[in-house]
Amino acid sequence: MKAHDPWVPTPMVVTAVRRDLKDTVSLTLDPGPGGMRFLPGQFNMLWRFGHGEVAISISGDPAEPGLLVHTLRGVGGVTRPLLDSQPGDVLGVRGPFGRPWPVEAARGGDLLLVAGGIGLAPLRPALLWALAHRAEFGRLILLVGAREPASLLFAEQLESWAEDPRLELGVTVDRGGPGWTGPVGVVTRLMPGLKLDPDRCTVMSCGPEIMMRFVAQEARKAGLPANRIYLSMERNMHCAIGLCGRCQWGPDFVCKDGPVFSYEDVAQRLTVRER
């Protein structure tokens, strides 16, 4: 099979559209013969013809390269038109790009995934990969935070995961409401009660930057070394190959040196206020 050329958008047909939230959809694309293989945590550049392209994390199952899934929120001049995509539409796709979650390196120990809001989308492939290799991990924990119950991404799948004995799941919201019986508060409040084993646990987190900073701090309080805490950073990525400079963050370009970084490498940068 000829590999997809990352320099040129490959036309792909939208085969399914799932409305996850009012402003969020999951698009399933047909990558063609052989599919598109990717690693958990990688992203593609999606091109909506007439509007431009944008970096979107891959949220599908790495074991199903024939079903390329992206979950996106409509917030800009490209993502809002993408939100209106319908089955049969054709999008351009470049990728996959970026440094993935180190799921292979985490084998043999415990794995804690911490997601905030739409940050669950880039973590979903890592969770699906870990579930597919469940015998090679100790504890498998997923913590999810959202502003309110109606903002929880993949709500139906969260319900099924809650019943899965292979997984420890914690879900919290900033604001509860009628019918909500779960925890209320930021997601990091769930971490101290986990009693993590610092000698065998790896943490992976994606969400608002301030949330990830506190996730890393809580993990450090639990005794985890900084080189086993990983964060997926979000910057304005335009070229995906480190040429345009739009996503430069310190000495790195998020599109090619990330989006996944070790906390050991970026802890100091997270304390610097950006202008």
In the chain, ranges of CATH 3.40.50.80 domains: 110-271
Query: How, if at all, do strands 229-232 and 201-206 pair?
Result: parallel
User: How is residue 96 written in tokens?
Assistant: 């996959």
How far, in Å, CA of 48 to CA of 199, rounded?
46
Give the residues across from 168 on adjacent strands: 141
CATH 3.40.50.2300 for the 10-97 domain, yes or no: no
Q: What is the mean pLDDT of residues 189-199?
A: 96
- CA 28 to mean position of chain CA atoms: 16
Query: How, if at all, do strands 90-97 and 43-48 pair?
Result: antiparallel
1 pLDDT above the threshold of 80: no
43 neighbors 259 (Cβ within 8 angstroms): yes
pLDDT attached to residue 7: 77
- CA 148 to mean position of chain CA atoms: 19
Going by pLDDT thresholds of 50, 70 and 90, the confidence category of residue 2 is low
User: How is residue 158 written in tokens?
Assistant: 């969260």
* Sequence-separated contacts (24+) of 234-239 with Cβ below 8 Å: 234/209, 234/259, 235/259, 237/43, 237/45, 237/55
- CA 202 to mean position of chain CA atoms: 16
CATH for 110-271 is: 3.40.50.80
What is the DSSP code (8-state) at residue 62? T
| Residue type (1 letter), 230 | Y
Per-residue model confidence as pLDDT tens digits over 202-252: 999 999 999 999 999 999 999 999 999 999 998 888 888 888 989 998 999
